[in-house]
Amino acid sequence: MELLRKKIVEEALREGYNLTAEAISIIESQQKPLETLRQIINYLKISRPEVIVVDSSHIMEVGLKTNEAGYIVSDIMIEKEPLEEWAPKIEVDDKFLKNYRIEGNITEFQNYFKSRYMKLKSILEKRGESFSKIIDVLKSPKGSESTLIVMLLEKIEKEQSIILQVEDDTSTVKLVAPKRDSELTRKIERLLVDQVLGVRVVKVNNVLFVRDVFMPDVPLKWRSVNENAPEVYIVLISDLHVGSRKFRRDLWENFLDWLSNTRDAEVKRIRYMIIAGDIVDGVGVFPKQDRELEYTSVTQQMEEVAKLLSEVPKEIKLIISIGNHDPVVKALPQPPLPKKYRKILEKYREYIFVGNPAVIRVEDRRILVYHGQSLDDIIQYLPNTSYSILDREIRNVLEMLIQCRHLAPIYGENTPILPTPEDLLVIEDIPDILHTGHVHVAYAGNYRDVVLVNSGTWQEQTSYQREVGLEPTVGTAVLVNLKTLSVKLKKFT
């Protein structure tokens, strides 16, 4: 009780309010005290902006009923505002619902890389430039300039230059990038092996020198405004890691309270929620994991998730994607959660299950959901980037995915990728929102016209994260207005 009182007082202070002793007792006696407090604060902010000390009379104004014995212990009854003429609009691209399998032969790998190259080539060709093939450039006269679309096979650092071994669908060639061009060197340092890019070259004495490099990227402005879109909100979260001793149940409960807080105009209009994977901590995901587990079977962990998610208001459509800790094959693209576990979750409410990655259209907005396994590789290879400064660098890391137009540009590092006939990790259609997780560091912002989100985590710092100096953003949810695409990062404490 003492702890609850402290929480109430602190929460009020954070919002700039002092509570009288009587006000504290009333709030404390409610079924959902913190939710009640937030409703009171929201009311005061809008209707009584002059109030800074909250007493019982203010609480009565909000609508808590009294009887002779005092205040009735009940939730504040507030009518939910129905959204006029609104019906959920949600569509999942079924390519991201399948369970892909491979034989493991060389042709599958060749076809996978061919698909990657061809898809990204067609994105680059839309820029309207004219591109040449390596085979023709090799035969071209000295001094001629041309532009190639290539996959980067290798970068070799020399004293005076960086050598790029590249390939297209006709041949392979070595390109020389002189280091004296510092702007070019800076761009080349950011290039990742296996990515597809454009290269401007000039032929001097049978050597192809790099003049410039450019990524597929997205245009500065590409989105048209849809004035008729309804003003509804989506909440993006990820990385609950239920089953871990480090799961922050208390913060999760505060999040649930907030979701039920119908005084907040934005919360009232939340109709969708996406979880971008790692709903459970899993079992045997890393060595000696059992020491860090509260529940040591995946079934127990799922049963716990089922209870935790059952309290998400029923009018919110809940979409669940997959992460590397979830009980699904690890290689991308990952299929949706297996039936056995879906059944456990569906005991209490409905869900929409999708794979990882997944393209979902919600209210005509294209949302690309991707857990983010490859972010580890990008952090490792991108210059001046590490886990210990990820809070500052996460933006650059996420931008890299959009610039490369690929969710896992580097092949064969820490991100297992299934060589499917079609490379589903190419970002073919530009998303309105890219929703990622995995690295447990929250971010919400824009790159050009794309909303970039990493939705943080609900798990305290793990021992591995402590070793690499990663400070997770614990207890975060990102709220996006689907009409305006404005974003807010909410931190629950």
Residue ranges binding Fe ion (CB under 5 A): 239, 278
Beta carbon of residue 230, minimum distance to Fe ion (angstroms, whole number): 32
Beta carbon of residue 416, minimum distance to Fe ion (angstroms, whole number): 16
Beta carbon of residue 320, minimum distance to Fe ion (angstroms, whole number): 14
Closer to Fe ion by CB, 71 or 458: give it: 458
In DSSP notation, 391-439 reads HHHHHHHHHHHHHHTBS--S-SSSS-B---SS-TTB--SPPSEEEE-SS
**Contacting residues for 283 by C-beta, under 8 A, at least 6 apart:** 243, 289, 290, 293, 296, 297, 298, 301
Give φ, ψ of 23 to 5 degrees: -60, -40
Closer to Fe ion by CB, 385 or 455: give it: 455
Closer to Fe ion by CB, 239 or 393: give it: 239
Closer to Fe ion by CB, 201 or 275: give it: 275
Closer to Fe ion by CB, 239 or 304: give it: 239
Residue from 466, 479, 480, 277 nearest 375 by CA: 277
Beta carbon of residue 285, minimum distance to Fe ion (angstroms, whole number): 9
In whole angstroms, what is the distance from residue 71 CA to residue 65 CA?
6
Closer to Fe ion by CB, 198 or 327: give it: 327
Sign of CA dihedral 177, 180, 183, 188: positive
Closer to Fe ion by CB, 278 or 393: give it: 278
Biggest CA–CA distance in the chain, Å, is 98
Residue from 172, 115, 161 nearest 138 by CA: 172
In whole angstroms, what is the distance from residue 156 CA to residue 161 CA?
9
Beta carbon of residue 218, minimum distance to Fe ion (angstroms, whole number): 27
Q: Kindly report the length of the chain.
A: 493
Beta carbon of residue 237, minimum distance to Fe ion (angstroms, whole number): 12
Beta carbon of residue 238, minimum distance to Fe ion (angstroms, whole number): 7
* DSSP 8-state assignment for residue 208: E
Which residues on adjacent β-strands are paired with residue 489? 478
In DSSP notation, 287-307 reads TTGGGGBSS-SHHHHHHHHHH
Beta carbon of residue 244, minimum distance to Fe ion (angstroms, whole number): 10
Cβ atoms of residues 408 and 397 within 8 Å: no
Closer to Fe ion by CB, 44 or 308: give it: 308
In whole angstroms, what is the distance from residue 163 CA to residue 94 CA?
41
**Contacting residues for 367 by C-beta, under 8 A, at least 6 apart:** 234, 274, 359, 360, 361, 431, 432, 433, 435
What's the alpha-carbon Rg for the chain, to the nearest Å? 26
Closer to Fe ion by CB, 16 or 284: give it: 284
Beta carbon of residue 325, minimum distance to Fe ion (angstroms, whole number): 6
